[in-house]
Amino acid sequence: MKKMMVTGMALLMAAVLLFGCQAEKGASGEGKPENVQLTVSAAASLKDVLTELASEYEKDHPNVTVKFNFGSSGALQQQIEKGAPADLFFSAAEDKFNKVVDKGLIEKSDSVKLLENSLVLIVPKGKNQQIDSFQDLTKDIEKLAVGKPESVPAGKYAKETLTSLHLWSKVQSKLVYGKDVRQVLSYVETGNVDAGIVYRTDALSSDQVEIGETAENDLHTPIIYPLGIVKNTKHREQSEEFYQFLQSDRAIKAMEKYGFKKG
């Protein structure tokens, strides 16, 4: 009898200890969201608004950190094709985005044409020079900055615009190429060039430049910003949630504040 009581007490204590451990484990780990870092490859022209939106999103989703890889859409497209880690791709050009889709790296059903932009001619603010139109680029100016047409969508749109206006061949000797649109903006801000061609949103982000002229839409390919979820993302659920957030009224209003238009 005594032996049975001792055995019973031992079993009871073991059960209490086991229950306590399970309860502690449940309180500390069970139901706690996984910490996730999302990597978003995005066009350089989206830097300001996406940085702002990510900060807001992280406050509402403390388990998610959004990391950006900003650059020219062409360079980002090539990186994704070579297997660089990315959960979402936000391009400033449909052709670059479509190449990723055509290679099966993004499903069409996981993509959306989210934004539109326009192209403008800019000059350093307060500098005494008469550059009020694209036609003025044939005047006595030394340097004109544009993005590399092969990899920078803004550069491609600039070339299309100047070609449509029969000016491309006339400004060849003046061209200074930037690796992305933000570098072109920087060249103009610092006065290293006399003028540059960038997106309207980039011009509006700076108090050191002035807009000379806005390119008519029929002078270049439509400036569309597609967004999509990369097929091999390791964080499908969180990627979909951020993808939906970027399409929300809250996010669109922020983008419109920076000069973008809803696509």
Annotated binding site for molybdate: 45, 73, 154, 181, 199
Return the closest-CA partner of residue 121 out of 61, 162, 182, 64: 162
Return the closest-CA partner of residue 93 out of 110, 106, 69, 76: 76
- HSE value, Cβ hemisphere, 13 Å, CA-based, for 16: 6
Contact by Cβ (8 Å): 74, 199:
no
Residue numbers in the known binding site are 45, 73, 154, 181, 199
Stretch (H or E) spanning 122: strand 119-124
Contact by Cβ (8 Å): 75, 61:
no
**101-115 burial by CB neighbour count: b if 16+ within 10 A, else e?**
beeebbeeebbbebb
Contact by Cβ (8 Å): 263, 255:
no
